[in-house]
């Protein structure tokens, strides 16, 4: 492997710090200005992310004109201890450039949408402050020039996500969801910290170039440990098995938050971490296999659970779990598949943002109802929302010529190309996931927009205002064209990071995989159409055990409670008991003993001189007697 090095930043690329500073400044102004910014604060939030997007486009163009596709910028020294020097450094290369464009571009559309969606919320100014803070933290994460800076952004995203998910904190479910997301991610983030400690112990550095160039010298155990620890961190941030349960609960936040977290930012951070660390993952086949297993298991897990949910946002949340599973599967397959995972991530940013914002438009029209069993027939009264949602639906199930067709099929083909029986197992899982995706997304689409009206009496559906439908139209166009337009150019663009792309050849050809995928997708969609075109009013009481299991999240929540929550509560209870009865008991008992003794001694203070004289005489007699005993002996 050629030695990795990064060129120093110059010109416009030296302003990479401004990508972070713009939304961070917006957040600071909105938080410090207080209620004085209520009337214009939301537009400041939009302006700062818009300026960041314009700068990202300019930097992207500047990077494209360089022979050495990288720009490294050292800002200042964070830690200086002996030989250890950790810099606050930024790296703008083809990988981080793509993520910056996605975060600021799709983020801008979500910001604009949120202006209309949060129009009547008294906390709108604070909401946009948190929105800007989230974007700034995510940009630190993807622009970090070493693992320490990436970790700073990583933790910043965790904090901002808590503030946004729990934004309606007076609602108990929202407060609980925010805490759950925060704590689950902190547990997984221990893996990131331990990975960095292992890097420092084995290689003495956290700089990307130093770690990647020295990775080949790592022992098998060290490379395995670092890889698995980074995988644990990535699973937590991206909602992959076994940390997937926090992601659907994050739907308790406002819908723009769901779109931002699930489409363009937080859940893609785990994919970014693995892609950025591709050198480490490529050196250990066991680590790659672990990533593949996690991805395949999660894509099926999310798809199965998504088939049984009736909340429009939770169906989309579980679809995110499943689609991120495809990305993990791709980056776990290694080689050229790293680029395939990033391409699917980009397409997912468009169609999932469109689907979430479309669900918000539906909720806006239905008095914030989320139960798809109470929708139906909305295509007549919400034509723009219907058309853009249809584009996202066709994109996520992967029908030609929508974006998912160009990004998901290559991943499935590469999975089938894995050697031996593993190719059939992994490829079969990915193919089954495509069929299930077509089923549950068609079920969602049909129950929401088609069939008879099942509205409650208090709703009068209507199309959303232009400030909300405008971003929907742009995201719908992205859902249609993004995959076909980006697949080949993005693969070429990422060559300096991942190397030359070579099409995988295995058990099935790419054409055979495409035909098979199209068949199962059409069958899955047709089955859902036949079952739900007439609508449904209530959940059947005598559901089969697979349906009951899917409604119960396949036991994932029960396992977490049994393995983590209940033992933690037990340990906390024992700790409280020991503290109350042990430590506090000793302290309180000693205090009581001293107090009781002092009260008894107090009774001896009578105020009579004869009593004091008798006490003195008695004491003197005792002392004389003791001295006589000693002398006699």
Q: According to the model, what pLDDT value does residue 240 have?
A: 87
Residue with tokens 């300096």: 496
Name 440's Cβ contacts closer than 8 Å, sequence gap at least 6.
Answer: 303, 306, 307, 309, 315, 318, 319, 528
CB crowding 550-578: b at 16 or more within 10 Å, else e: beebbebeeebeeeeeeeeeeeeeeeeee
> Is the distance from CB of 249 to CB of 178 less than 8 angstroms?
no
10-residue mean pLDDT profile of the chain (633 residues): values are 77 89 93 87 92 93 86 87 85 91 90 87 88 93 92 91 86 86 85 92 89 88 91 89 83 84 79 90 88 92 88 89 91 82 88 89 86 85 91 91 87 85 87 93 91 82 86 89 76 82 68 90 92 68 68 69 65 72 77 77 71 80 83 71
User: What is the Cα–Cα distance from 348 to 324, expressed in whole angstroms?
Assistant: 9
User: What is the Cα–Cα distance from 366 to 612, expressed in whole angstroms?
Assistant: 90
Tokens of 246: 């926090």
Tokens of 76: 């200042």
Q: According to the model, what pLDDT value does residue 140 have?
A: 93
Whole-prediction pTM = 0.84
Of 486, 466, 262, nearest to 354 by C-alpha is: 262
Name 205's Cβ contacts closer than 8 Å, sequence gap at least 6.
Answer: 146, 199, 211, 214
Task: Give me the residue spans of the domains in the chain.
Answer: 560-632
Residue 65 Cα to chain centre, angstroms: 33
Residue with tokens 């660390």: 277
Partners of 409 in beta bridges: none
Q: According to the model, what pLDDT value does residue 100 have?
A: 92
User: What is the Cα–Cα distance from 83 to 86, expressed in whole angstroms?
Assistant: 10
């Amino acid at each position: 492997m050629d030695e990795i090095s990064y060129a120093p930043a110059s010109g416009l690329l030296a302003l990479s710090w401004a990508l972070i500073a713009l939304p961070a400044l917006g957040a600071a102004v909105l938080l410090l200005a207080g209620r004085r910014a209520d009337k214009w604060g939301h537009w400041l939030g939009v302006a700062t992310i818009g300026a960041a997007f314009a700068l990202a486009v300019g930097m992207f163009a500047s990077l494209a004109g360089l022979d050495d596709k990288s720009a490294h910028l050292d800002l200042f020294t964070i830690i200086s201890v002996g030989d250890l020097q950790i810099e606050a450094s930024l790296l703008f290369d083809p990988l981080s450039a793509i993520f910056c464009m996605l975060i600021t571009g799709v983020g801008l559309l979500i910001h604009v949408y949120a202006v209309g969606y949060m129009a009547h919320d008294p906390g709108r100014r604070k909401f946009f402050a948190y929105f800007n803070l989230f974007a700034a933290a995510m940009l630190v994460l993807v622009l970090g020039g070493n693992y320490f800076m990436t970790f700073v952004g990583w933790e910043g995203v965790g904090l901002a996500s808590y503030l946004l998910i729990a934004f309606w904190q007076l609602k108990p479910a929202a407060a609980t969801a925010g805490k759950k997301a925060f704590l689950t991610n902190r547990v997984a983030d221990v893996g990131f910290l331990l990975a960095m400690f292992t890097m420092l112990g084995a290689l003495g550095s956290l700089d990307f170039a130093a770690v990647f160039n020295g990775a080949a010298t790592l022992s098998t155990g060290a490379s395995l440990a670092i890889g698995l620890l980074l995988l644990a961190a990535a699973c937590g941030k991206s909602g992959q098995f076994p940390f997937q349960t926090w992601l659907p609960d994050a739907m308790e936040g406002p819908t723009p938050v769901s779109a931002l977290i699930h489409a363009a930012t937080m859940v893609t951070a785990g994919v970014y971490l693995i892609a950025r660390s591709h050198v480490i993952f490529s050196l250990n086949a066991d680590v790659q296999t672990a990533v593949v297993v996690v991805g395949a298991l999660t894509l099926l897990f999310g798809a199965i659970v998504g088939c049984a949910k009736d909340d429009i946002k939770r169906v989309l949340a579980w679809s995110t779990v499943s689609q991120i599973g495809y990305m993990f599967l791709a980056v776990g397959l290694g080689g050229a598949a790293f680029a395939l995972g990033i391409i699917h991530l980009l397409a997912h940013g468009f169609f999932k943002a469109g689907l979430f914002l479309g669900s918000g438009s539906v909720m806006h029209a239905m008095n914030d109802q989320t139960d798809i069993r109470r929708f139906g027939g909305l295509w007549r009264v919400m034509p723009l929302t219907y058309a853009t949602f249809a584009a996202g639906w066709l994109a996520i199930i992967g029908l030609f010529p929508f974006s998912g067709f160009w990004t998901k099929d290559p991943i499935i083909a590469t999975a089938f190309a894995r050697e031996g029986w593993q190719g059939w197992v992994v490829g079969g899982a990915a193919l089954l996931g495509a069929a299930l995706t077509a089923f549950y997304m068609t079920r969602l689409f049909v129950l929401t927009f088609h069939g008879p009206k099942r509205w409650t009496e208090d709703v009068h559906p209507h199309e959303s205002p232009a400030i909300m439908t405008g971003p929907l139209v742009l995201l719908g166009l992205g859902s249609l064209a993004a995959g076909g337009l980006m697949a080949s150019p993005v693969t070429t663009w990422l060559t300096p990071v991942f190397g030359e792309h070579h099409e995988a050849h295995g058990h099935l050809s790419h054409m055979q995989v495409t035909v098979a995928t199209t068949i199962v997708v059409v069958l899955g969609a047709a089955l859902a159409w036949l079952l739900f075109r007439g609508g449904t009013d209530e959940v059947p009481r005598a559901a089969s055990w697979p349906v009951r299991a899917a409604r119960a999240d396949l036991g994932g929540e029960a396992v977490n409670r049994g393995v983590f929550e209940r033992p933690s509560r037990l340990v906390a209870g024992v700790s409280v008991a020991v503290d109350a009865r042990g430590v506090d008991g000793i302290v309180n008992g000693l205090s009581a003993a001293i107090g009781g003794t002092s009260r008894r001694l107090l009774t001896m203070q009578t105020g009579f001189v004869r009593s004091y004289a008798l006490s003195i005489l008695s004491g003197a007699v005792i002392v004389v007697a003791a001295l006589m005993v000693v002398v006699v002996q």
